Structure 1
Amino acid sequence: MNMITNPILRGFHPDPSICRAGEDYYIATSTFEWFPGVRIHHSRDLVHWRPIASPLTRVTQLNMEGNINSGGVWAPCLSYDNGLFYLIYTDVKSRVGAFKDTHNYLVTAADIEGPWSEPIYLNSSGFDPCLFHDEDGRKWLVNMIWDHRKGRNRFAGIVLQEYSVREQQMVGPAVNIFKGTELGLTEAPHLYKHKDYYYLITAEGGTGYEHAVTVSRSRTLQGPYEVDPASPILTSYGRPDLDLQKAGHGSLVETHTGEWYMAHLVGRPINQKYCILGRETALQQCTWSEDGWLRLASGDRYPKVQVPAPKITAHPFEPAAEIDHFDQFELQNDWNTLRIPPDPTWLSLTERPGYLRLHGMESMSSTHRQSMVARRLQAFECEAETCLEFAPDHPQQMAGLILYYDTKDYLYLRVTCHEEKGLCLGIIQSRYGIYDELLLEDIPLESVNKIRLKVVVNHDRACFYYALDDDPSWCRVSGWLDITHLSDESPEYIRFTGTYIGLCVQDLGGTRKHADFDYFVYRETNNQTSS
């Protein structure tokens, strides 16, 4: 029997929305402040998945310059109806304190790989919007509604309102169709019609270790909705022994062979606490009970690592290359940039063919214009390597290899220029917003043409190395460094992304000094188990 091995999308791939178009399957996941917006994976068998082009590639679709940490694109919803793909997404501008500014948009495309349309504004009443295509051709938007008022339930329920395709706007009244259960924090609504009932799937309990999926149903679209007496139907709560924690935020698909699966997010903690890979995507097989309720096919409510695959012929894809030689005209789709799209003012693959040239901009603390190109950390044991050429003139110019969570948490092996030592190498750290330099003194590099940098990640720690010119031997820069702060689990604030490994350049003097990167290697050694 073919098996699905969870998580199917490793590393930072939260809030999955799954849909089918014929015999093709797609999952859209949140990207938060990383550009391009919304990550889409494609499969033909639910076992093997490959990333394809992201839909939000233009500033006119998604302008995130200045967006807060863990703002940007939350919980997209991807659907397909009558030859057209619909993508709903939220651009979160603020999320701290009583208020949340959450703007919801719709884009469409006839082809999943685009081009995608300019956005249609929908509302800003809450987040996690989802579009439901009813059998009569009408379309309905559901989203959680946010109540800022003191003493109220901030997660105030799930609101339903009709969307007019002809008018390209919301029409008619907005109706609160579900207030949630005692688990609270009701969000992530998805509506489905199955036989005689409308089914409302929601996430509850928050996105941490109490996360869960609840189901309710109604014979009429606007309710009232009856809660499944067995809810929650999916959760990891109360089972710290499970490999997959934080199970929740479910989305359903029926295969073309008539089988049902739920895509949902999970986390795999290190030391039973720290999810350095961020929230990931898993699949569970589902069935329908005799009395019409959704159930996990395993017979309980807990996520499984191994799940029976559907009765579909296996369709594997070519594995991704470990090395990027930067010999193409555009960045490969594993790369992301931070808040802003790549453009020739700061990034080029053609100014020096075969190299990635980055012109330095703002610091690692900036929420506006950083020169950073990074990819997801997707394994607990891996290493990354690059080679750069860089000639800084003063300490405000830096370039190198970074492990990055957000503006408050990173580890950065950087090359800079010291007033007395000249060209030198050191490690910068920000831990929960506290800046530090981890070497007593930077390492002088004298005059070299090429500087190779490497990081080795082993679960909750990382070690940095360097080598000069064509010397094949690596020199250790540091001992093993704790990286548990590169995770969702901050003691001071809630956040939602995951760790990236990247290349970046800073020029705090504003002269845009550039660095050239010859290649980038990302190699995994053990990608499935946590410690």
Structure 2
Amino acid sequence: MGFTALPRLEREDSSAGAVGVEGQRRADLGNGTYLNPIFPGDHPDPAILRDGDDYYVTFSSFESTPGLIIWHSKDLLNWQPLASALPTAVGCVFAVDMCKVGDRYFIYIPVIPTAVSPDPTAPPLIYVIHSDNMAGPWSDPVDLGIAGHIDPGHVVGEDGHRYLFLSGVSRVRLSADGLSTDGEVEHVYDGWHYPDDWVTEAYALEGPKLTRRNGFFYLTTAVGGTSGPPTGHMVTVARSRSVNGPWEECPHNPIIRTWNESEPWWSKGHATLFEGPNGQWWSIYHGYENGFTTLGRQTLLESIGWDDDGWPCAMGGDLSTPLPSPSPVTQLSSDGTRGLALTDDFSTPRFGVQWSFHSPSKDEYLRLSLDDGLLLQARGESPSESSPLTCIVGDRRYEVTVQMEVEEGTQGGLLLYYSGRLFCGMGHDGDRMVSYRAGRAIPYWHEPAPSTQVLHLKINNDNHIVTQYYSTDGITWTRHGLRFNVAGYNTNTADELLSLRPALFAIGAGRVRFRNFTYRALTETSKADSNK
């Protein structure tokens, strides 16, 4: 798919982790240790599947389409994107589960209906897709007829039957082929309850994942709410000899939690326990980076030990320090690549892997074509109506640039986009520049800008301080508008469990052609170069 390798470079900021060719954070330090996160940027609700020596993971994609990007790894640190398992919008996609039964792969998908769904007023629904290959093609979604639940967790019981555990925690038996239910939804577990004086968002018993080890089923759940107070989200465990219970609570609960706001990772939760290379056990879960909630929920990896009674214990300790790697030898892909370079000349399709539409209509992809760059048909009269193209970033300090050419009657631009209610950036229609802040055009700031159909735009986000530039040649830059502080562009301000992302938009009547999108993480040296 034309992905660029990310070789290791020297770090100028040790707290930011290893970096790659564009400065992006990378988990593998190349010396037998790794540094969290293993997926920087907004990768919430990780669902992981082990298939022999191969590991696959995907994340909640919400209203981004294409969605459910599947990633592959041999060593849990170096991941390669395979494909989008859900190329067409079906609604708001929450935390999924992946499994393999026989020779077939399954993804169970909770969807909160939106305007693109068959019935936008319906309660949350559970769908399933299936494939003979993790790289696809995947089937069309099949509605299982399960209403009012999210967060499915698949398991094959000791009785040989397949089950889905659901938020609550409820459970339903599946047919042998996994494509329909075989019984009623029933409540099966009340959850472990923390003390009343703990500061959490809400109890919210969610994310049931089941793992089998030494004759026990281990049921891992999330409680405490997924955002809000840093100490809210947590990981709890119960076990049983039977998939039917009864469930015994782990004496170490919660096995993972943010205990105070000084820790490097907040709201840690939604974990899966699994066996990794060399028989070592691991937990994969998400958390917010202290001070950088704007980046969304990032994916963390922590080793798991087992006490003498067979209960799991988290072993990572301080997750801001280097930890022993799952495998002593780095295992890159067959072509020697590592990760995903974000710089894009739009010469090959990278949609569903790097780029996705935010809150699209069902046929949103028809607006887009690759014709001497990326040609995007305008939609709406403001960025909030435009379903912009966004990409996930995971650095605290970065710069993005793009060249654009606008048709008459059209405005194109570059944003940092959280949602339709919260974004900032700039647009140009060939005659004038428009500034956006806090989700609206700024009426009190006017600045002359060149009258030209072709313009280069640049946004610098330096630890939440945003500076904007434009240029007629991509070499000499003029600073535009006000500087913004975007630290508040996050879920605790605007809800929606999203992240702040670079975005390209087109509004009005015509089209905008984008070329040469570039991304680089900033160090003190590169920041000085950027401001010239």
Instruction: Tell me the TM-score normalized by structure 2.
Output: 0.83
Alpha-carbon contact 1:243-1:305 (below 8 Å) kept: no
Question: Identity percentage over the alignment?
Answer: 25
Q: Give, in whole Å, the separation in 2 of the partners of 1:439 and 1:471.
A: 27
Q: Which runs of 4+ in 1 moved over 6 A?
A: none
Give the secondary structure class of the aligned counterpart of 2:310.
Answer: coil
> Could you say which residue in structure 1 is the equivalent of 2:184?
173
1:476 pairs, out of 476, 479, 482, with 479
1:306 corresponds to: 322
1-structure distance, mates of 2:183, 2:476: 69
- 1:449-483 deviation line (CA, Å, top 9, x unaligned): 42000000111221100001x36210000342111
- 1:383 matched to 2:399? The reply is yes
Q: In the alignment, what sits opposite 1:110? A: 132
Q: SS at the partner of 2:185?
A: strand
Alignment match of 1:77 (pick from 88, 91, 97): 97
1:254, 1:26 → 2: CA distance? 13
Residue 287 of structure 2 aligns with which residue? 266
The answer to whether the 8 A contact 2:32-2:328 is kept is: no
- Tell me how far apart the structure 2 counterparts of residues 28 and 364 of structure 1 sit (CA, whole Å): 32
Which of 424, 438, 445 is the equivalent residue of 1:430? 438
Q: Which residue among 226, 234, 252 is the counterpart of 2:273?
A: 252
Distance 1:516 1:86, change over 3 A: same
Measured after TM superposition, the shift of residue 519 of structure 1 is 1.5
Q: Paired residue for 2:170? A: 159
- Describe the SS at the equivalent of 1:477: strand
Tell me which of 353, 374, 385 is aligned to 1:333: 353
CA distance in 1, matches of 2:265, 2:434: 37
Gap regions ≥5 residues in structure 1: 65-71, 145-156, 418-422
Quote the residue 1:234 is aligned against. 256
Cα distance in 2, alignment partners of residues 408 and 91 from structure 1 = 22
Aligned CA distance change for structure 1 residues 371 and 408 (closer, same or farther; 3 Å)? closer
Deviation larger for 319-328 or 79-88? 319-328
What displacement does 1:137 show?
3.6
1:278 maps to what in 2? 296
Q: Cα–Cα, structure 1 residues 322 and 170, in superposed 2: closer, same or farther, change >3 Å?
A: closer
> Amino acid of the residue matched to residue 367 of structure 2?
W
CA distance in 1 between partners of 2:461 and 2:100 (Å): 39
- 1:514 corresponds to: 511
In structure 1, the partner of 2:470 is 466
For 2:423, the equivalent position in structure 1 comes to 410
Amino acid at match of 1:337: F
Residue in 1 aligned with 2:198? none
Match of 1:152 in 2: none
Cα distance, 1:326–1:44 mapped onto 2, change above 3 Å:
same
Could you tell me how far 1:252 is from its partner in structure 2?
1.8
1:194 correspondence with 2:205: no
Deviations 1:290-322 (A, max 9, x none): 101011124x6x755533222353113345345
2:47 matches 1:42: no
Which of 194, 208, 233 is matched with 1:211 structurally? 233
Contact 1:244 1:305 in 2 (8 A): no
Give, in angstroms, the shift of residue 57 of structure 1.
0.6
Kindly provide the amino acid, as one letter, of the partner of residue 465 in structure 1. Answer: Y
Contact kept, 8 Å, 1:247 with 1:303, in 2: the verdict is no
Equivalents in 2 of 1:7, 1:199: separation in Å? 25
Give the direction of change, closer, same or farther, for the CA distance of 1:330–1:293 in structure 2 (3 Å limit). Answer: closer
Report deviation, 1:363: 4.3
In structure 2, relative to structure 1, the CA distance for the partners of 1:73 and 1:119 (3 Å cut) is same
**Quick check: 1:372–1:503 contact (8 Å CA) kept in 2?**
yes
Distance in structure 2 (CA, Å) of the matches to 1:374 and 1:284 = 29
Aligned length: 472
Cα distance change of structure 1 residues 382 and 88 upon mapping to structure 2, 3 Å threshold = same
In the superposition, the TM-score normalised over structure 1's length comes to 0.83
Distance of 2:138 and 2:286 partners within structure 1: 26
Distance in 1 (alpha carbons) for counterparts of 2:156 and 2:137:
22
Verify: 1:361 aligned to 2:379, yes or no: yes
1:54 aligns with 2:95: no
What is the CA distance between 1:52 and its match in structure 2? 2.4
Q: CA RMSD in A?
A: 2.4
SS state of the match for residue 401, structure 2? strand
The amino acid that maps onto 1:453 is: L
Q: Shift of the alpha carbon at 1:254?
A: 0.8
| Contact 2:359/2:387 (<8 A) preserved | no
From the two aligned structures, give the one with the greater helix fraction. 2
Q: Which runs of 5+ in 2 are unaligned?
A: 1-30, 115-120, 195-202, 525-532
8 Å CA contact 1:365–1:408 kept in 2: the answer is: no
